[in-house]
Amino acid sequence: MSTFAIAQEMTTNFGAPVGDNQNSKTVGEYGPVLLEDIHLIEKLAAFDRERIPERVVHPRGAGAFGVFEASADMSKYTIAAPFQQVGKTTELAVRFSTVIHGKGSPETARDPRGFAVKFYTEQGNYDIVGNNLPIFFIRDAIKFPDMVHSLKPSPVTNKQDPNRFFDFFSHIPEATHMLTRVYSDYGIPAGYQFMNGSSVHGYKWINAKGEVTYVKYHWESKQGEKNLTVAEAEVQQGKDWQHATISLRNAIDSKNYPQWDLYVQLIKPEDLHSFDFFPLDATKDWPADKIERIKIGTMTLNRNPVNYFQEVESIAFAPGSLIPGVQASEDKLLQGRLFSYFDTQRHRLGPNFQQIEVNKPKQKVVNYNSDSFSSSRNDEFDNPDVNYQPSSRTAVSDTEKYKYVQETLNNVTITQQKITKTNDFSQAGDFYRSLSKQEQENLISNLAGDLAKVKDKNTQKTMITYFYKADRNYGMSLAKALGFSMSDFMGGKH
């Protein structure tokens, strides 16, 4: 039996058959190449444009496809399609990623991991765009560009430098909790299927009565959480620094389909200020012992991408990709992301990125956003001559029941100020104390490793002070590891 593929006729991008794909058109056998060789020119031009702009953050990633099956009826709280009845299934896509490091960087680097899920629902695409950790470094999006700049390579040396990012974080006390988690072993997951996920932000669920409940999502890996120590990461990097991508792909190929259970935490609006932290502060976790976690379903990944560029590099997630039953909360960081994510996809993929196959909703899209690059929708309307609304010439109209829920903000001033209930250190201390003695030692060693590279002693002392405020033993152990004594902190602002 022949193993050769069935012959297919090669064509140009405009469909004409190609006569010779091996030799350029030349003046004689040894003469120069002619500009009129259209196939050559088109082939080179396409090659020159193969790369699109790298994501500013989350450039290195892996993707997969699967299904979500609901295990609870949450219609009491939301009309969101995937969560309406037990047993309901919804197709989905995921992308896991590192955050700061470039597209070709090793997956053994210390970094938060992106955890993004796109539900293809009958009411549109719903994206839960979060991380493997339940919190973030900052609470206000206005700080995001500066934070990323400090973590990226220096514009002078092109090298990532703890002097730069700890200089920044020494002015950002709310980052203490996130730094504590990132510098623990959770900062280097052993593989994408071995990490949990979180929406990080709280959102608003809206039910059929228009009632609001604040919600936060958590994905719990059924494979268990597994992380690498620094020593283990060094060994893994020497063997294969693309291990997380390969591990995920091999698991699916071998039909050992990874699964995550989805849990939610719910807060009534009237209870939002009943905690010693503000739940819509992205630097804060919602403690499970105070706010119950409710299992609502399970995600199973059962298909690998067929073409990485088309299905992973081109997939576009945005926290503003919401469906009826879900609205954005007042979270300051989320509010900035609502703009930033859509905008970066327009920059990377073009203004019609939602028409790319992997980003298309399952149902027909009906609106009059028109033209520009790669537009393919303008001929789908009942009356193509009408590209506006309202109109008496078409039946296209909006649906009043899906309007935003009206909320009254009486006696509240629109302002630019820091929230008063910051509580920047207690949860970092709680997390530190939850670690085993060995995990605490690893955390101290990991932090000291980078802080030791910081030349400014005041920056080092400020960071130690933050960790001391989280937990006395935590701060003192770090100070000792960096060669400081208690006298170094006496008499000054520290």
Respond yes or no on whether the N-terminal peptide bond of residue 390 is cis (omega within 30° of 0).
Answer: yes
For β-strands 294-303 and 326-328, DSSP reports them as: unpaired
DSSP sequence for 68-108 = EEE-S--TTT---GGGSSTT-EEEEEEEEEESSS-TT--TT
Place of tokens 């008063």: 420
CA dist., res. 150 & res. 141, Å (int):
15
- Kindly list the distances between the CA atom of residue 232 and the CA atoms of 16, 114, 309, 322, 395, in Å, as whole numbers in the listed order: 54, 22, 31, 40, 62
Q: Tokens in use for 2? A: 């022949």
- Kindly list the distances between the CA atom of residue 15 and the CA atoms of 11, 12, 22, 46, in Å, as whole numbers in the listed order: 5, 5, 18, 15
Measured in whole angstroms, how far is the alpha carbon of residue 182 from the centre of its chain?
Answer: 16
Query: Are the C-beta atoms of 74 and 82 separated by less than 8 Å?
Result: no
Catalytic residue among 39, 58, 218, 243: 58
Query: What does DSSP assign to residue 382?
Result: S
Q: Tokens in use for 396? A: 């296209």
* Region for 372 from its dihedrals, namely left if φ exceeds 0, alpha if ψ lies in -120 to 50, beta otherwise: left
Q: What SS3 class is residue 402?
A: helix
Tell me, yes or no, if 131 is annotated catalytic. Answer: yes
Query: Are the C-beta atoms of 287 and 423 separated by less than 8 Å?
Result: no
- Residue ranges of the alpha helices (H) in 277-425? 308, 332-349
CA dist., res. 434 & res. 299, Å (int):
28
**E strand or H helix at 461:** helix 457-470
Catalytic residue among 101, 125, 131, 196: 131
CA dihedral 311, 312, 318, 323 (to 10 degrees): 40
**E strand or H helix at 51:** none
Q: Tokens in use for 116? A: 């993004």
HSE, side-chain direction, 13 A CA sphere, residue 432: 28
Q: Is 217 annotated as a binding residue?
A: no
CA dist., res. 337 & res. 335, Å (int):
6
Q: What SS3 class is residue 456?
A: coil
Q: What SS3 class is residue 434?
A: helix
Q: What SS3 class is residue 171?
A: coil
Query: Are the C-beta atoms of 276 and 236 separated by less than 8 Å?
Result: no
> Which residues carry a binding-site annotation?
341
> Which residues carry a binding-site annotation for heme?
341
Q: Give the active site residues.
A: 58, 131
